[in-house]
A and B are shown apart, each in its own frame.
Chain A
């Protein structure tokens, strides 16, 4: 398996606060990593570091990839969107094709037919001409996911994809991600540990430090050992099967 991104001994933060310290993570093809951790623990900072939106204070982030292809596709949190911005669903999806190289030109006919395919795949082809603000939360997530994958990136990053999403779409989303994972690595941030652990392959616990767990089954005592206190969301009577034997101690 070839390496896509390496984070080496990286520390990162804002202003005077070091949010991430001495983090090491190697992302390879076919990876499907779930990033969990407490609020304020640095999950989003990790995403911003990988995206290159912030520079490491120490250490480095190394990108392995050819310049022809967008390395990373990204699904941000929906809540940050200006819903009244005059942009259509089709234009949002197409914009995922922009890169520093192609960003200075217009879209080709090829690009447009590619966008049609993606809209079809996301099940929002009938909404293509709608402006982004006319969409429901779930539909908007589909449009943004379309934007993230249209350039066939080597790594897909999702930041809390299951917020504001209905159960139906959540199920579809995870099925779709499973398919996409055959073509690209996935890194998914989530607060809902119970749900993501049944889909991801490995887990990264982020709380200032990063502990990489080479399995999707994690126990409460392991979380404690990783210094990663997580608020487990209890789903009524449904047990957290993936959370291992120590689960009941938590309730």
Chain B
């Protein structure tokens, strides 16, 4: 198994898996705790519009996706602050608008047909040095921001109104956080693709949430689960020659299933022990 590390593409894939687990583990826990999964789905699909336009105009598609996803993220955050707009409907519109723009512009791009499949389904085995450096930079920003402002983020996320009453810059924090979510999504589209990236942001976190009710621990467990699942997925996809993104997500779901079984068995055992203790008294 270890001989695979002789290949640069494989070493890059492992680094990408580690960095993706860090960025998704942290911002994904925030998303899950704040029940923002649908918002994140909207941002993800809106970014496809940016990819399409970038192709058409000849820019770097990742840059296009980054601009589009951050703008849509800020837009959603702004709309959700105003109470008279139905937030879920707005997200639904943005979701399909992004996809529609992406398809139209890619279709209109003359000549060379871009490899769209890698954006829809991702390919961790083709990640390059530049991608890794960008992911490393994003990981550093996210880890730094969450480490520095953890308590403030927790406070704002739990009770926004109370934080406002304490004169904390809630709006600023929310805009920064949603931008970090958007950047996490864009950087990880390269790895698991637009269609599957939401799983990287939610399945390890939901698995972690089975064992801890502490946001910090949830982030740490999510990173560990993310690394385990994505490395397993890479190996299996390599040996079976199947798409890596889908295999990684499948590995996450299997881990979630196992965790759920362990949790149920553990709960039953604890209850049985309590009942035994009570009847022995």
Residue pair A76, B218 in contact (C-beta under 8 Å)? no
- Mark the stretch among B6-14, B54-62, B151-159, B258-266 that contacts chain A: B151-159
Residue pair B213, A76 in contact (C-beta under 8 Å)? no
What is the chain A residue whose CB lies nearest that of B33? A86
Residue pair A98, B165 in contact (C-beta under 8 Å)? no
- The reply to whether the CB of A99 lies closer than 8 angstroms to some CB of chain B is yes
What is the chain A residue whose CB lies nearest that of B170? A103
* List of B residues within 8 angstroms of A238 by Cβ: none
Residue pair A100, B151 in contact (C-beta under 8 Å)? no
Residue pair B166, A131 in contact (C-beta under 8 Å)? no
Which residues in window 45-92 of B have CB below 8 A to A? Answer: 83-84
B199 to A: closest C-beta gap in Å: 20
* List of A residues within 8 angstroms of B214 by Cβ: 86-88, 131
* List of B residues within 8 angstroms of A86 by Cβ: 33, 209, 212-215, 218
B86 to A: closest C-beta gap in Å: 15
* List of B residues within 8 angstroms of A134 by Cβ: 213
Q: Mark A90-124, 1 if CB is under 8 A from B, else 0.
A: 01101100111001101100000000000000000
* List of A residues within 8 angstroms of B169 by Cβ: 100
* List of A residues within 8 angstroms of B158 by Cβ: 82, 85, 87, 92, 95, 132
Residue pair B215, A76 in contact (C-beta under 8 Å)? no
A141 to B: closest C-beta gap in Å: 14
Complex Cα spacing A105 to B218, Å: 21
- The reply to whether the CB of B136 lies closer than 8 angstroms to some CB of chain A is no
Complex Cα spacing A100 to B150, Å: 15
* List of B residues within 8 angstroms of A51 by Cβ: 164-165
- The reply to whether the CB of A70 lies closer than 8 angstroms to some CB of chain B is yes
Interface size of A by CB at 8 A reads 32
Which residues in window 16-58 of A have CB below 8 A to B? Answer: 51-53
Q: Select the residue from B35, B159, B169, B215 with max chain A CB neighbours within 10 A.
A: B159
Q: Select the residue from A14, A15, A103, A131 with max chain B CB neighbours within 10 A.
A: A103
Residue pair B155, A53 in contact (C-beta under 8 Å)? no
* List of B residues within 8 angstroms of A87 by Cβ: 154, 158, 214-215
What is the chain B residue whose CB lies nearest that of A67? B167
Residue pair A95, B167 in contact (C-beta under 8 Å)? no
What is the chain A residue whose CB lies nearest that of B155? A95
Complex Cα spacing A94 to B168, Å: 15
* List of A residues within 8 angstroms of B159 by Cβ: 76, 81, 95
- The reply to whether the CB of A13 lies closer than 8 angstroms to some CB of chain B is no
What is the chain B residue whose CB lies nearest that of A75? B162
- The reply to whether the CB of B253 lies closer than 8 angstroms to some CB of chain A is no
Residue pair B213, A104 in contact (C-beta under 8 Å)? no
| Contacts beyond the supplied A85-B157, A86-B209: 9 A-B pairs with Cβ under 8 Å | A14-B83, A53-B165, A76-B161, A92-B158, A99-B166, A99-B168, A103-B155, A106-B151, A133-B213
Interface residues of B (CB under 8 A from A): 33, 35, 83-84, 149-152, 154-155, 157-159, 161-169, 209, 212-215, 218
Q: List 16 A-B contacts (CB under 8 A).
A: A53-B161, A72-B165, A74-B165, A76-B162, A81-B159, A86-B33, A86-B213, A87-B214, A95-B151, A98-B166, A99-B166, A99-B167, A100-B166, A103-B163, A133-B213, A147-B162
